[in-house]
Structure 1
Amino acid sequence: MQSSISKIQKIHCPSLYGWYMIKKAEYESRGYEDCEKTLVHVTGASNISSILRSNLNWRRVNRHKFGKGISFADDAAYANQYAAMSIGLDRAIIIADVLIGKCFLGNSWTDLPPYGCDTTTGNRHVFVKFYDDEFLPKYVVYYTSPPIVIRRRFNRFRF
């Protein structure tokens, strides 16, 4: 069963863009020349109007595995699979430019990255951001997710 896309929306917010460009210039002044990645964040479709008014807010994070911040992924299917079940099946993928400077290998006990790091990661797919204006939403893709099947590993057991 595949997801069904219902709408794609381009985001245009001059104030968010301005703050993001200031932060990007700050990163580049620290020597992070290639500091921008295009990544995705999955949320419930009902959350989008609030996000478009005030951007993603790392202070409202309840679930966190690699640090208490906003999780972005480089793979939409991966992001959809690990998004909270409580957001339901009507979902939205936010496609954003994200500033990545120095990463720290995080874990569930990491609240913030250590001094000198701006991002945590737990594997090669997830990047967690903790500070405002380090991500710029560009598009929202609304879709309906098929029910997610939880895969159980029975590698140790033979039936």
Structure 2
Amino acid sequence: MASWEETLAQLAALSPLLENLNISSECFEKNNRKPKKKEDPAGTSASKNSFLKAIERAGNHSLNSGSTLDIDKNKNEASSNQFQLPQPKQIFIDHSILQLNNEPIVNVLKYKIVENGSKKFKKISARFPPSLSVLKIREVQNPFLKKSFQLTQHFKYSNLQPMQLFHGTKSKYVKSICSDNFNWRFTGLERGHKNGKGVNFTPKPLFAERFCDRDDANLKVMILADVLVKNKCLGDENLAVPPPGYDTAIRKDSIVFVKFSDAEFYPKYIIYFKKVKKNPQ
């Protein structure tokens, strides 16, 4: 039998091991202790779970039946919504309008001679005073510019009949105008812009003649254009765009019409003419 001193010595040797076991036991209990549930006086968790379940039911119902459901957050339930949103309208384009057949427009510029003695030739030349003699007229055929003009005429101007107005220019600009149309961005480069910063037209050939020069054949040239004119206002040199509700600026005597927007004019005819010398008395 061990003495009392030997027993104490054995206990002293086991003491560190017991301390380690005690620490490990406390750590295990601490790590595996279930956290206390926080009080939820308003029932937020239950409400949240209920709302999530409602969303899940709504999604399943929508996938299965194809109908729409309205999630009521206040009542935390999904209820069928009898109101159906209107279906988007399908717009059907009548391809007979302006002969739009979804065919590509080949922008090949061509000219067609207006025969002397034809009704068209006589009608145009009759607008010229005796001091100006019309010698040749060419009709401009530019499919792209013409279609752009027709679309503007149809949708923006409700098929308003265009005015036929003259535009005097230098011969070097004629091809560019017939190919790319009049460009209001170049306004004022030659003679200023007294009635507005746009493209100038006139119903008077004699007025347009003032802006023309002679070509290589010693002829002058001007353009007769289709121009859409609906609401007119008085123009001035500082007018960059017309006021709301207006599309055209004019001079007080209505001898000058100024246009500011693209595709509201179309160069239709090129007119070659010369001044007639007065017979000496």
Q: TM-score range by the shorter chain?
A: 0.7 to 0.9
* Runs of 5+ consecutive residues of structure 2 not aligned to the other structure: 1-129
Measure, in 2, the Cα distance between the counterparts of 1:9 and 1:94: 10
Larger mean CA deviation between 4-13 and 119-128 belongs to: 4-13
Assess, with a 3 A threshold, how the Cα gap between structure 1 residues 146 and 131 changes in structure 2: closer, same or farther: farther
Assess, with a 3 A threshold, how the Cα gap between structure 1 residues 118 and 93 changes in structure 2: closer, same or farther: same
Q: Which residue of 2 aligns with 1:17?
A: 146
Higher relative contact order, structure no. (Cα contacts within 8 Å, ≥ 6 residues apart): 1
Q: How many residues align?
A: 140
For the pair shown, the structure with the greater C-alpha radius of gyration is 2
Q: Which amino acid aligns with 1:135?
A: F
Q: Give the aligned CA root-mean-square deviation in angstroms.
A: 2.2
Measure, in 2, the Cα distance between the counterparts of 1:20 and 1:53: 14
Residue aligned with 1:136, SS: strand
Listed one character per residue, the Cα deviations across residues 53-73 of structure 1 (whole Å, up to 9, x for unaligned) are 111111011221110111111
Give the TM-score of the pair, scaled to structure 2. Answer: 0.46
Q: Which residue of 1 aligns with 2:243?
A: 114
Measure, in 2, the Cα distance between the counterparts of 1:128 and 1:142: 23
Listed one character per residue, the Cα deviations across residues 49-93 of structure 1 (whole Å, up to 9, x for unaligned) are 111111111101122111011111111112223x2xxx5334321
* Deviation at residue 116 of structure 1 after TM alignment: 1.9
Q: Which residue of 2 aligns with 1:8?
A: 137
The answer to whether the 8 Å contact 1:43/1:93 transfers is yes
* Deviation at residue 134 of structure 1 after TM alignment: 0.3
The answer to whether the 8 Å contact 1:35/1:101 transfers is no
Query: Aligned ranges for residues 59-74 of structure 1 at < 5 Å?
Result: 59-62=185-188, 63-74=192-203
Query: Aligned ranges for residues 76-115 of structure 1 at < 5 Å?
Result: 76-81=205-210, 83=211, 88-90=213-215, 91-115=220-244
Task: Give 1:142's match in structure 2, choosing from 272, 276, 280.
Answer: 272
* Deviation at residue 39 of structure 1 after TM alignment: 0.8
Q: More helix by proportion, 1 or 2?
A: 2
Measure, in 2, the Cα distance between the counterparts of 1:116 and 1:4: 39
Q: Does 1:51 align with 2:177?
A: yes
Q: Which residue of 1 aligns with 2:257?
A: 127
Q: Which amino acid aligns with 1:57?
A: N
* Deviation at residue 34 of structure 1 after TM alignment: 4.2
Measure, in 1, the Cα distance between the counterparts of 2:172 and 2:138: 14
Identity %: 34
The answer to whether the 8 Å contact 2:164/2:227 transfers is yes
* Runs of 5+ consecutive residues of structure 1 not aligned to the other structure: 148-159
The answer to whether the 8 Å contact 1:102/1:119 transfers is yes
Measure, in 2, the Cα distance between the counterparts of 1:146 and 1:65: 29
The answer to whether the 8 Å contact 1:94/1:139 transfers is yes
Measure, in 1, the Cα distance between the counterparts of 2:157 and 2:247: 13
Q: More strand by proportion, 1 or 2?
A: 1
